[in-house]
């Protein structure tokens, strides 16, 4: 990692972003509005990813930030990350229950008792909706499959670190195929990620990583994931040089999703999957951190990459 | 309204959209993935709105599809539309509760008992986050304020009508100021809306309308809203000529939000508000309905408007 000046911590950076009007506080840690400038950076970076993968032949799928609860239950997310998921609940009562709800609300009591779970869970990671969709199509075509997804995701981890939002956008390319195909895909994107971060003019490092698995059993899963080099992250210092922030991740799921969804390659073997994920807000926050809050003053090469 | 051929119903149109690959079913009514072509239309139409309002001086704010629950409670949405809202709930237990959750899940029991309400409600309409933000800034500037918002919204109304999704995008321009300022804004956009629909080559009509207020008391609110011409809709036939679909709405809230949030004009009076809202998926569905599923075969004038 390149040397940068000493960094102010997460709360300080958040207050700077708010003062500059780039983030708009709404009273909940990890939930912010974005200014037009902030969105311009997100959109431009998103276009850069599109251009990078243009010749890869990905199928574009765009899902709303909601997942079929049944698919969520089948995904085993609850085994690994129960603390992060967000289920969507609605009022399904009649007039009487409504009167009671309004009375509770007026008197400052808990009014959420009649909120019942709907069929929808907020998307925890952009790729989750695609596996059952692909599985329903039958065996993969020869050469496997590549899918391009982009969505808001939810993780319940309130924090004053602007790089740890509860609702944030994730762009992903997901490769489904033989182990060789998906590992080669991950290598390609690791290389592209390094090139991209270099061109964006930010310090970075790539390191092995693990997901935030829940509980004691989770510690074993995390260690196992690291030992097998299943997850790499491209880290950029945003509010700490010692603890840089994961802005891109490169994940090899082995046959995890293939087994759950019975996805098969054209050869009849269980499909393996890998994905590259871009934390869109984190990349924007890294660019604002290293190039300043005035887009016009950003290095010409970075402006050219982003806006042509 | 222009004459169109007899229309197939909602379920038939949905199955056509799915067969054409424009919508991707995921097993929940009102929740669909979108294809690249579908998204191209949404993005192009969104750009047209941006161009239409370019010289209006709106402040761009982009919020994630989540609202501070406290702001939601204060908004009185629960009084009018309790049945549509979606609260976000998360697991906040420890290892023991997690074991129990996994047991329930494995045995097909209800596992959602430990899901507790978070501080977040899914955004019910794109403009809801902005009022408390503006109120916190103090009195409005002279001439009032114009805000441009765009977000996924949630309404719990599962349906097989593709034009009634549970998660859909709404672009809005919101005017906050004196009654004269906000009424003039609404008139401007009513005229722009008619012009836009004409240029898009779709049959339409503009009519007075009402929101889907809940319960018996809601029927009075709805009648009152119609009597006072507070809500107009631009309706385009999508799956029925007799019951065309509201694709744009033009709403005068009077001092409803101004009173709730204590928003004041520069003159010290209670601010009035109005908004124009575009149902992005509905507009796309109307275009696919009237111009066909092959974007390249759309009328040249429509293609030029959308893609330049």
How confident is the model at residue B126, as a pLDDT?
A: 98
Sheet holding A31-35, edge to edge: A23-28, A31-35, B59-62, B145-154, B167-177, B272-279, B245-254, B231-236, B205-208
Dist CA A246 CA A209 (whole Å): 9
Nearest in space to A121 (alpha carbons), one of A97, A153, A145: A153
Sequence-distant (6+) residues with CB within 8 A of B234 are: B193, B194, B197, B204, B205, B206, B246, B247, B248, B249, B250
Nearest to A28 among B120, B158, B166 (CB): B120
Residue A76 belongs to domain with CATH number: 3.30.930.10
Q: Tell me: do B139 and B186 sit in the same domain.
A: yes
Q: Is residue A293 part of a domain?
A: yes
Q: CB A154 to CB B66 under 8 A?
A: yes
Q: For residue A7, name the pLDDT band (cuts at 50, 70, 90).
A: confident
Interior angle at CA B27, CA B149 and CA A258, nearest 5: 105
Q: What is the per-residue pLDDT for A1?
A: 40
Section A209-236 average pLDDT? 95
pLDDT in tens, B274-289: 999 999 999 999 999 9
**Predicted-complex ipTM score:** 0.96
Q: CA of B64: which chain A residue's CA is closest? A: A167
Number of domains in chain A: 2
Interatomic CA distance for residues A15 and A22, integer angstroms = 10
Tell me how far apart the alpha carbons of residues A47 and B167 are, in angstroms, rounded to a whole number. 24
Same domain, A103 and A133: no
Residues B168 and B268 in one domain: yes
Contact B151, B61 (CB under 8 A): no
Judge whether A5 lies within some domain: no
Tell me if B88 and A88 make a contact (CB, 8 A cut-off): yes
DSSP string, A270-292: BPEEEEEEEEHHHHHHHHHHHH-
Rounded CA separation A75/A132 (Å): 9
Distance, in Å, from the CA atom of A65 to the CA atom of A154, rounded to the nearest integer, reads: 8
Average of per-residue pLDDT across B243-265: 98
**CB distance B62–A71 less than 8 Å?**
no
pLDDT at B20: 98
Is B214's Cβ below 8 Å from some Cβ in A?
A: yes
Instruction: Give pLDDT, residue A5.
Output: 56
B98 and B154 part of one domain: no
Shortest distance, CA B254 to any CA of chain A (angstroms): 23
Interface contact flag, B166 A31, Cβ < 8 Å: no
B302's CB contacts (< 8 A; 6+ apart) are B199, B200, B201, B287, B291
pLDDT tens for B195-252 read 999 999 999 999 999 999 999 989 999 999 999 999 999 999 999 999 999 999 999 9
Length in residues, chain A: 308
**Collapsing DSSP states into helix, strand and coil, what is residue A87?**
strand
For residue B105, give the chain A residue with the closest CA: A73
Which two three-digit tokens encode residue A126? 């952009």
pLDDT higher than threshold 50 for residue A23: yes
Same domain as B219, residue B266: yes
Q: For A169-208, how does the pLDDT look when each residue is reduced to its tens digit (9 = 90+)?
A: 999 999 999 999 999 999 999 999 999 999 999 999 999 9
CA angle B235, B238, B240 (to 5 degrees): 90
Q: Tell me: do B148 and B223 sit in the same domain.
A: yes
What pLDDT is recorded for position A3? Answer: 41
Q: What is the per-residue pLDDT for B50?
A: 98
Interstrand relation of B167-177 and B145-154 (parallel, antiparallel or unpaired) = antiparallel
Q: What is the mean pLDDT of chain A?
A: 96
Residue B8's CB: how many other CB atoms inside 10 A?
A: 14
Backbone angles phi, psi at A4, to 5 degrees: -130, 165
Average pLDDT, rounded, for chain B = 96
Q: Is residue B5 part of a domain?
A: no
Same-domain pairing of B37 and B104: no
Tell me which residues of chain A, numbers 73 to 102, contact chain B at a CB-CB cutoff of 8 Å.
Answer: 73, 78-79, 82-95, 98, 101-102
Chain A residues touching residue B71 (CB < 8 angstroms): 26-27
- Kindly tell me if the per-residue pLDDT of B99 is higher than 90: yes
Three-state SS string over B108-143 comes to CCCCHHHEEEEEEEECCCCCCCHHHHHHHCCCCCCC
Query: Who's near B65: CB < 8 A, 6+ residues apart?
Result: A65, A152, A167, B122, B123, B151, B152, B153, B154, B167
3-state SS class at B278: strand
Question: B243-271: b or e for each residue (b if 16 or more CB lie within 10 Å)?
Answer: ebbbbbbbbbbbebbbebbebebeeeebb
> Is A92 exposed, middle or buried (CB count within 10 Å of its CB: 0-12, 13-18, 19+)?
middle
CB nearest A68 (choices: B31, B71, B168): B31
Comparing CA positions, the residue from A46, A124, A27, A19 lying closest to residue A82 is: A124
Q: Mark whether A75 and A139 lie in a shared domain.
A: yes
Backbone angles phi, psi at B187, to 5 degrees: -60, -45
Flag whether A238 is in a domain.
Answer: yes
Domain ranges, residue A99: 92-121
- Residue A4 reports pLDDT greater than 90: no
The total number of residues shown for chain B amounts to: 308
Contact criterion met (CB below 8 Å) for A277 and A171: yes
pLDDT at B5: 55
The minimum CA-CA distance between B195 and chain A, rounded to whole Å, is 27
Is B167 within 8 Å of A68 when comparing Cβ atoms?
A: no
- pLDDT at residue A133 in the model: 98
Contact yes or no for B194/B206 (Cβ under 8 A): yes
Q: Return d(Cα A9, Cα A240) in angstroms, integer.
A: 6
- For residues A255 and A262, what is the distance between their CA atoms, to the nearest angstrom? 10
pLDDT digits (tens, 9 = 90+) for A81-139: 999 999 999 999 999 999 999 999 999 999 999 999 999 999 999 999 999 999 999 99
- Percent of all residues in chain B with a pLDDT value above 70, rounded to a whole number: 98
Q: Given this model, what pLDDT does residue B7 score?
A: 83
- For testing contact with chain B, the best of A97, A100, A122 (most B CBs within 10 A): A122
Same domain, A159 and A250: yes
According to the 3-state scheme, what is the secondary structure of A206-270? Answer: EEECCCCCCHHHHHHHHHHHHHCCCEEEEEECCCCCCCCEEEEEEEEEECHHHHHHCCECCCCCE
Query: What token pair was written down for B143?
Result: 């001439």
Task: Using a cut of 0.90, tell me whether the model's pTM lies above it.
Answer: yes
CB of B19 within 8 Å of a chain A CB? The answer is no
Residue A4 placed within a domain? no
Burial of A172 (0-12, 13-18, 19+ CB in 10 A): buried
The two most distant CA atoms of chain A are separated, in Å, by: 64
The dihedral built from the CA positions of residue B102, A219, A152 and A262, taken in this order, carries a sign that is negative
Question: Is A1 part of any domain?
Answer: no
| B90·A95 Cβ contact <8 A | no
Question: A233: distance to nearest CA of chain B, Å?
Answer: 25
pLDDT at A2 over 70: no
Size of interface A-B (CB pairs under 8 A): 204
Domain's final residue, options A105, A121, A137: A121
Q: What average pLDDT does the segment A68-84 reach?
A: 97
Dist CA A207 CA A232 (whole Å): 5
Which residue, among A221, A280, A279, A278, has the nearest Cα to A254 in the 3D structure? A221
B1 assigned to some structural domain: no
Domain check: are A99 and A47 in the same one? no
Beta carbons of B177 and B57 less than 8 angstroms apart: no
pLDDT digits (tens, 9 = 90+) for B286-303: 999 999 999 999 999 999
> Which of these, A139, A151, A172, lies nearest to A53 by C-alpha position?
A172
Question: What mean pLDDT comes out for the span B55-64?
Answer: 98
Give the pLDDT of residue B1: 40
Give the number of other CB atoms < 10 A from CB of residue B199.
Answer: 14
Q: Is B227 among the domain residues?
A: yes
Residues A146 and A222 placed together within one structural domain of the fold: yes
Cβ-nearest to A156 among B38, B73, B118: B118
- B169-187: per-residue pLDDT in tens? 999 999 999 999 999 999 9
- A132 in the same domain as A117: no
Tell me the mean pLDDT in the region B121-126.
98
């Amino acid at each position: 990692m390149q040397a940068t000046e000493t960094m102010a911590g997460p709360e300080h950076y958040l207050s700077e972003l708010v003062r500059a009007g780039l983030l708009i506080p709404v009273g909940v840690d990890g939930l912010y509005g974005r200014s037009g400038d902030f969105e311009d950076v997100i959109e431009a970076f998103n276009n850069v990813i599109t251009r990078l993968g243009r010749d890869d032949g990905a199928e574009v799928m765009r899902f709303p930030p909601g997942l079929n609860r049944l698919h969520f239950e089948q995904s085993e997310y609850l085994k690994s990350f129960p603390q992060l998921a967000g289920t969507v609940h609605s009022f399904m009562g009649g007039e009487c229950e409504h009167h009671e709800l309004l009375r509770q609300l007026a008197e400052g009591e808990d009014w959420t008792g009649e909120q019942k779970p709907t069929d929808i869970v907020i998307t925890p990671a952009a790729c989750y909706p695609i596996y059952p969709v692909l599985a329903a199509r039958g065996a993969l075509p020869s050469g496997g499959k590549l899918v391009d997804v982009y969505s808001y995701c939810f993780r319940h981890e309130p924090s004053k670190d602007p790089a740890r939002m509860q609702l944030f956008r994730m762009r992903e390319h997901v490769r489904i195929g033989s182990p060789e195909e998906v590992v080669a895909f991950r290598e390609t994107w690791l290389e592209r990620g390094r090139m991209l971060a270099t061109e964006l003019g930010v310090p970075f490092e790539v390191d092995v990583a693990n997901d935030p698995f829940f509980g004691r059993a989770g510690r074993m899963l995390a260690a196992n994931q690291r030992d097998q080099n299943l997850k790499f992250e491209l880290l950029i210092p945003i509010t700490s040089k010692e603890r840089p922030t994961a802005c891109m991740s490169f994940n090899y799921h082995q046959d995890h999703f293939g087994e759950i969804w019975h996805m098969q390659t054209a050869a009849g073997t269980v499909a393996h999957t890998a994905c590259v994920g871009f934390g869109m807000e984190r990349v924007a926050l890294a660019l604002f951190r290293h190039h300043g809050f005035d887009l016009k003053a950003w290095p010409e090469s970075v402006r050219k990459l982003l806006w042509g």
